[in-house]
Amino acid sequence: MWQLRLWLTIQVSVCFGGFAVAGDRPTGRSFATRSEVIARHGMAATSQPLATMTAVDILQRGGSAVDAAIAANAVLGLMEPTGCGIGGDLFAIVWDSNTQKLHGLNGSGRSPAGLLPEEFQKRGLTKIPSFGVLPISVPGCVDGWYELHGKFGRLPMAEVLAPAIRYAREGFPVSEVIAQGWKSGETVFRDQPGFAATFLVDGKSPAKGDVFRNPMLASTLEKIASGGRDEFYKGETGRRISGFVQQHGGFLSELDLARHKSEWIEPVSTQYRGYDVWELPPNGQGIAALQMLNILEAFDLRSAGFGSVDHAHLFIEAKKLAFEDRARLYADPDFARIPVSRLISAEYANERRRLLDPVKAAESYSVGLPHAVDEGDTIYLTVADSNRNMVSLIQSNYRGFGSGVCPEGLGFSLQDRGEMFDLQPGRFNSYAPGKRPFHTIIPAFVTKDGIPFLSFGVMGGATQPQGHVQILMNILDFGMNIQEAGDAPRILHSGSSEPTGEQMTDGGTVAMEQGFPASLEGSLQQRGHRMKPARGEFGGYQAIMYDLQRDVYFGASESRKDGMAAGY
């Protein structure tokens, strides 16, 4: 272990000791914050340093990339409950070096079978609430862990979960960005059932540097480690979850939990600049990134240059086009026939691109395909191991602490993903019992000539496909390395039509981080874009690149978050 500590000390000084001015960096890019991390045998990148160290430790013990990813996810559920936890859902893309193939896992849960659409009508609701018991759907994380571990794990699950259990009992110091989110949650969630007893100390959220302990979560994880996924879905833990929800007027039942199962699915791809970009098909929003890339493929962005008005305008309009389809055509494929192949085809992109005015912002776009039902935010992490297996994993409660509802004595909150259903009948994403809601969390992967190139993700709701596309433009069009690609300022368009039923009528609004040319905002306004201050969520990025020629990994971590990349 002393070798690991020494190595991490060196790497942390490299990653966080950026006291030289940005212009002194080798590339001279003004926004560059630090170097990429480079290692031979394994790499991990997460949004919390202790979670990254946990993943590297598991790799050094002989664990697989999936073992390390699960271990890091469990630690993040404890240390970053503002974004994830075992009360939420999980999606993953895994590169298996043995089969030389990508495997996709949809670990999202379904709505309660006993919650009928009439219940919302009876309450006079036109939208599912953001918090409380009504938006709770079955948490899919734990089953997702066991599915991944059963196919790709090496170490016993008890060993994989041991670091999170130890940290939960002994405590950990809360990091800066997470403390900020926790403080916001204190106000929003304090009155939700069980929240204060689980996440507040003497009625307050922990501050930066405070040591927080969660012995209730430690006990829950110990039961899961010994009893397996059935303990969570069919055992005492499951009974306590459903009983607590129903006690407070909710509908999640023991049967809902017992019926849950993750689904192995085939990732889908499009080609951009000679690279194959892979996402998971709906009920997630990953193919929105593929649709945007297909539209942008026809434009010479490299010549336009990073931060040019053409770069920004074309990106924003491609986003608007893709998100109109996202709002109406992405849903649970068990309930609607989703035309995925058509949506991500070059021919469809050509049709949609004709609607794009290269010098004028559109106030609205129509959906591209029929969208009536035909009868008949989040943490992201990535890990790579010495056998050249790689995993891209994203896991979320949805709105920070999710529903805010924390089953008594269990140490975690339940997600509020059901909020994303549309209460208007007859649409692809219309609410139905036992249905998976539209999902925002999306892992991504890139291959080149059938060889792994990049495992990456950008957390943050509707920011995610926009972030995926901007990362890839930064690398493939503008020649940035994978750390610079995340450090570069981002553009965020909001106001597109949403899967919950809201429609775009005024073109939406655009926010930009500092770092773009001073003239860009005015140039975009001249093209008809409405600007707003950059106060929104610009995402949280992690990435691992595999360099086949050198046979080494490059790691990068989001400079806007608390995390880091590390390897050995």
What is the token pair recorded at 172? 């950990």
Q: Is 534 exposed, middle or buried (0-12, 13-18, 19+ CB in 10 A)?
A: middle
Contacts of the segment 398-402: beta carbons below 8 A, 24+ positions apart: 398/88, 398/440, 399/130, 399/131, 400/82, 400/83, 400/181, 400/184, 400/185, 400/188, 400/189, 401/81, 401/82, 401/185, 401/188, 401/189, 401/195, 401/199, 402/85, 402/87, 402/88
Chain-centroid distance of CA 418 in Å reads 17
What values do phi and psi take at 413, rounded to 5?
-105, 155
Contact call for residues 53 and 12 (beta carbons, < 8 A): no
Listed in sequence order, the residues at least 6 apart from 167 whose beta carbon sits closer than 8 Å to its beta carbon are 50, 75, 78, 79
In single-letter form, the type of residue at position 442 comes to: I
Distance CA 452, CA 449 (A): 9
Angle at 112 between CA 415 and CA 374, to 5 degrees: 105
What is the token pair recorded at 199? 């996440």
What values do phi and psi take at 391, rounded to 5?
-130, 135
What is the token pair recorded at 179? 């403390």
Distance CA 237, CA 231 (A): 6
* Helix ranges, 81-140 (H): 117-122
Coil, helix or strand for 152? helix
Coil, helix or strand for 117? helix
Tokens 């990813």 correspond to 69
Question: E strands, 78-190, where?
Answer: 89-96, 101-107, 172-173
Chain-centroid distance of CA 69 in Å reads 14
HSE (CB half, 13 Å, CA atoms) of 67? Answer: 22
Catalytic: 9? no
In single-letter form, the type of residue at position 105 comes to: L
- The closest of 368, 329, 330 to 352, measured between CA atoms, is 368
- In total, the chain counts a number of residues equal to 568
Listed in sequence order, the residues at least 6 apart from 385 whose beta carbon sits closer than 8 Å to its beta carbon are 41, 42, 59, 63, 64, 65, 68
Q: Calculate Rg over the CA atoms of the chain.
A: 22
Concatenated DSSP letters for 248-266?
TT----HHHHHH---EEE-
Exactly one of 54, 82, 198, 378 is catalytic; which is it?
378
| Residue 62 φ/ψ region, left for φ over 0, alpha for ψ in the -120 to 50 degree band, beta for the rest | left
Tokens 């790691």 correspond to 555
What is the token pair recorded at 313? 């305008």
- The closest of 100, 477, 94, 548 to 272, measured between CA atoms, is 477
| Catalytically active residues, by annotation | 378
